[in-house]
Structure 1
Amino acid sequence: MPHLELLATLEGHQDRVWQASWHPTKTLLATCSGDKTVRLWKPATHNNFTEWHCVETLEGAHKRTIRSVAWSPTGNELATASFDATTGIWENDPRDNDWECVATLEGHENEIKSVSWSSTGALLATCSRDKSVWIWEVESDNDFECLSVLQEHTQDVKMVAWHPKLEILASASYDDTIKIWKEDDDDWYCADTLEGHTSTVWSLDFDAEGEQLVSASDDKTLRIWKMYKPDNEQGVITHNGEPTWKTICTLSGYHDRCIYSVSWSKVNGCIASVSGDNSIRIFEKDSDTTDPDSPNYKNTSTTKDAHGVYDINGVSWYPNETHGDWLSTVGDDGLVRIWRWVKD
């Protein structure tokens, strides 16, 4: 039977861990915590994946919890989003392998919940409890210009995620909706509002091609959305020449409590979700499904008490084929766990 095998438990944070972010090309994991630090972890040796060391602690830039951490596409920079309403940009100096906070982005009026880089690294998005999404342009010499402040959500915005190939942004909110944002003549606008969840949308992730999106909610469901372009064969109605996103699958009855985080593997196509019920669930697309507009996903693996009695705040698949069967989870217990997805 498919199952998750625990590879390593990483200890060091002094408070709950909120998020983990894998380096795009190296076996390196960044984690952020209520202890106001980011820790960078890597295996002790090239072939020993059961023992990991903290190789760097990034601290001193934020006065409150660091809620989100994200690598740039090159892996040369890290962005950190904090409850102190600032976003930090960190750079590595290869000469002495030292990390420095080279820019602090200000403007949000309240706690920042999430930060995300676009696929090219030219744009950065942040979102906040102040109900806004900010889009920043990355300029030379560590300058960042705010291109747009998007204020169409009516509540706290929990997460932002960029399309894996295009400059299209998705945001998830306490107002139970997901919004899709696009640019037109230097102005950003809401191209679609995805409605269907009945409570806070905590997390979302695109599939490898960006044609589908999975969302996780306080309503204990996962929804898979598909993008339908104008004049689509299925006859799905679109408006103003914009694609429409439509729910094609709802996964319910699996988690017993709020689903805090979801990750769609870009390597194996599996969806991983974690919850306040302390479990990790893996969903695989049923190979017998023939209708691409009505797929069936099976819960093929459940790991209960993955962080003991503690909430699991984040889950993230390894981003490339080097270790495409790896998964990280982080929890209120202050621990980071590395798992291997074993198919049989």
Structure 2
Amino acid sequence: MPQLELVATLEGHQDRVWQASWHPTKTVLATCSGDKTVRLWAPISQNDFSTWQCIDTLEGAHKRTVRSVAWSPHGNELATASFDATTGIWENDARDNSWECVATLEGHENEIKSVAWSSTGALLATCSRDKSVWIWEVETDNDFECLSVLQEHSQDVKMVAWHPTQETLASASYDDTIKIWKEDEDDWFCVDTLQGHTSTVWSIDFNAKGDELVSGSDDKTIRVWKMYEPNNTQGIATPYGQPVWKTVSTLSGVHDRCIYSVAWSKVHNHIASAGGDNVIRVLAKDSETLDDNAPSWNVVASVKNAHGVHDINAVAWFPTDKHGDWLASVGDDGVVRIWRLIAD
């Protein structure tokens, strides 16, 4: 059986760590915390990945917890979402390799829970406790224009995630649903509402192709959803000529408590999950599955007490082949850990 091997433990945050985001190409990890900062971590040597150091601390832009951090697709900008209801845009000055907050996006009424860049970097999405999702257009000179405010969720919106290649957005909410959003004639609208979870949907992530989506919930289940295009061979109806999403796998018993984070590896197709039971699981699709519309998933690696007795708030796979077996985890203990998935 594969196993998760601990590579490094990173300490420095002064409060719980909420999220981790890998640089799109470099061996640099960004983490955000209740201590109002973002820390950037990198190995001391590219020949020795067992020892890491904090190479920069981004601070001063937020007055409250930084709940979410995301690299731009090109890796030269970071977006930070805070409980102070603002989103910070940070830019790297290559001349002295320093980071500066070059824009502050305002408009949400309450805590911002998540921020995400589209695959091209042309759009930014934020979501908030105020039940709304905002779509921002990235303009020149660090200007951002709000294109649309989406208000169809009935409760706190926990997370936003962009399709890996298209300008299609998914949002997960305290209202137990996931919504899929697309643009039509200069406005954004909800093309599908994914129902099935019986409690808060905390986390979502697309697979590499973007035709499947994984979700983790307070109902202690993981769901895998599949997209069906119009005129699909399964005969599934697609109203208004838009693709629809259906649950193809519901995984129970993987965790004993709330599932706070799910991450779908774009390299080896494994799903990692973590939550309130202090356990990290790695799931793989059963290779003997005959029906792609009803796949089986198996737990292939586990780490119990991965952050001691503390909740694990997020897991994140390295995005490219270079270190595709790396998984970062962050928790209420204020610690960041990097794991490596070792094949059997």
Matching of residues 63-82 of structure 1 within 5 Å: 63-82=63-82
Q: Which residue in 1 is equivalent to 2:90?
A: 90
Shift of 1:47: 1.1
Q: Which residue in 1 is equivalent to 2:263?
A: 263
**What is the alpha-carbon distance in structure 1 between the residues aligned to residue 272 and residue 248 of structure 2?**
18
Q: Which residue in 2 is equivalent to 1:229?
A: 229
Deviations along 1:11-36, one digit per CA (max 9) or x if unpaired, are: 00000000000000000000000000
Q: Which residue in 1 is equivalent to 2:22?
A: 22
Q: Which residue in 1 is equivalent to 2:39?
A: 39
Shift of 1:309: 0.2
Identity of aligned residues (%): 76
Shift of 1:301: 1.3
Shift of 1:192: 0.2
Q: Which residue in 2 is equivalent to 1:149?
A: 149
User: RMSD of the TM alignment (CA)?
Assistant: 0.4
Q: Which residue in 2 is equivalent to 1:251?
A: 251
Shift of 1:302: 1.4
- What code does the residue aligned with 1:277 have? D
**What is the alpha-carbon distance in structure 2 between the residues aligned to residue 48 and residue 254 of structure 1?**
33
- What code does the residue aligned with 2:88 have? G
Query: Does the residue aligned with 1:109 lie in a helix, a strand or coil?
Result: coil
**What is the alpha-carbon distance in structure 1 between the residues aligned to residue 88 and residue 336 of structure 2?**
22
**What is the alpha-carbon distance in structure 2 between the residues aligned to residue 236 and residue 276 of structure 1?**
36
Q: Which residue in 2 is equivalent to 1:327?
A: 327
Matching of residues 144-223 of structure 1 within 5 Å: 144-223=144-223
Deviations along 1:85-112, one digit per CA (max 9) or x if unpaired, are: 0000000000011100000000000000
**What is the alpha-carbon distance in structure 1 between the residues aligned to residue 296 and residue 47 of structure 2?**
37
**What is the alpha-carbon distance in structure 1 between the residues aligned to residue 106 and residue 275 of structure 2?**
31
TM-score by length of 2: 1.00
Could you tell me which runs of 5 or more consecutive residues in structure 1 were left unpaired when the two chains were aligned: none
Shift of 1:204: 0.3
Matching of residues 250-329 of structure 1 within 5 Å: 250-329=250-329
Q: Which residue in 2 is equivalent to 1:238?
A: 238
- What code does the residue aligned with 1:335 have? V
- What code does the residue aligned with 1:333 have? D
Aligned length: 344
Q: Which residue in 2 is equivalent to 1:51?
A: 51
**What is the alpha-carbon distance in structure 2 between the residues aligned to residue 156 and residue 186 of structure 1?**
25
Shift of 1:343: 1.2
- What code does the residue aligned with 2:247 have? T
**What is the alpha-carbon distance in structure 2 between the residues aligned to residue 178 and residue 274 of structure 1?**
19
Query: Does the residue aligned with 1:51 lie in a helix, a strand or coil?
Result: strand
Deviations along 1:274-299, one digit per CA (max 9) or x if unpaired, are: 01000000100000001111100001
Moved over 6 A (4+): none
**What is the alpha-carbon distance in structure 1 between the residues aligned to residue 154 and residue 278 of structure 2?**
30
- What code does the residue aligned with 2:81 have? A
**What is the alpha-carbon distance in structure 2 between the residues aligned to residue 89 and residue 54 of structure 1?**
20
**What is the alpha-carbon distance in structure 2 between the residues aligned to residue 80 and residue 256 of structure 1?**
31
Shift of 1:312: 0.2
Shift of 1:117: 0.1
**What is the alpha-carbon distance in structure 1 between the residues aligned to residue 107 and residue 13 of structure 2?**
28
Deviations along 1:220-276, one digit per CA (max 9) or x if unpaired, are: 000000000111000111111011100000110120000000000000000000010
Query: Does the residue aligned with 1:50 lie in a helix, a strand or coil?
Result: strand
**What is the alpha-carbon distance in structure 2 between the residues aligned to residue 271 and residue 189 of structure 1?**
29
TM-score by length of 1: 1.00
**What is the alpha-carbon distance in structure 1 between the residues aligned to residue 44 and residue 290 of structure 2?**
45
**What is the alpha-carbon distance in structure 2 between the residues aligned to residue 124 and residue 27 of structure 1?**
23
